[in-house]
Amino acid sequence: MVGFGVSIFLITLGAIFKWAIKAHLSGIDLPALGVILMVVGAASFLLQIIMMSRSRNPRRGAEVINDDRNQPPV
């Protein structure tokens, strides 16, 4: 997965293509490309947030292993 920085970069690049560039290229619709980049960046950003929140929560029903190293010898 891409990081937050790449997601923000895609959103920024898409906004530049959508609103800042006024050039016209034959065969390429720059405003449409900008919207696509912004959507991909936003989706990636949301997936990063979801994956980060899932990794922080412990799993339910996880096996607990008893570590006897701190117990005095019997």
pLDDT tens per residue across span 22-32: 998 999 999 99
d(CA 3, CA 48) in angstroms, rounded, equals 7
The whole-number average pLDDT for the span 49-53 is 90
Residue 18 has pLDDT above 80, yes or no: yes
**pTM, 2 dp:** 0.71
Using an 8 Å Cβ cutoff, are 9 and 59 in contact? no
d(CA 16, CA 10) in angstroms, rounded, equals 10
Torsion of CA 69, 70, 71, 74, to 10 degrees: 50
Cα 8 versus chain centre, distance: 9
Mean pLDDT of the chain: 86
Return the H-helix or E-strand segment holding 28.
none
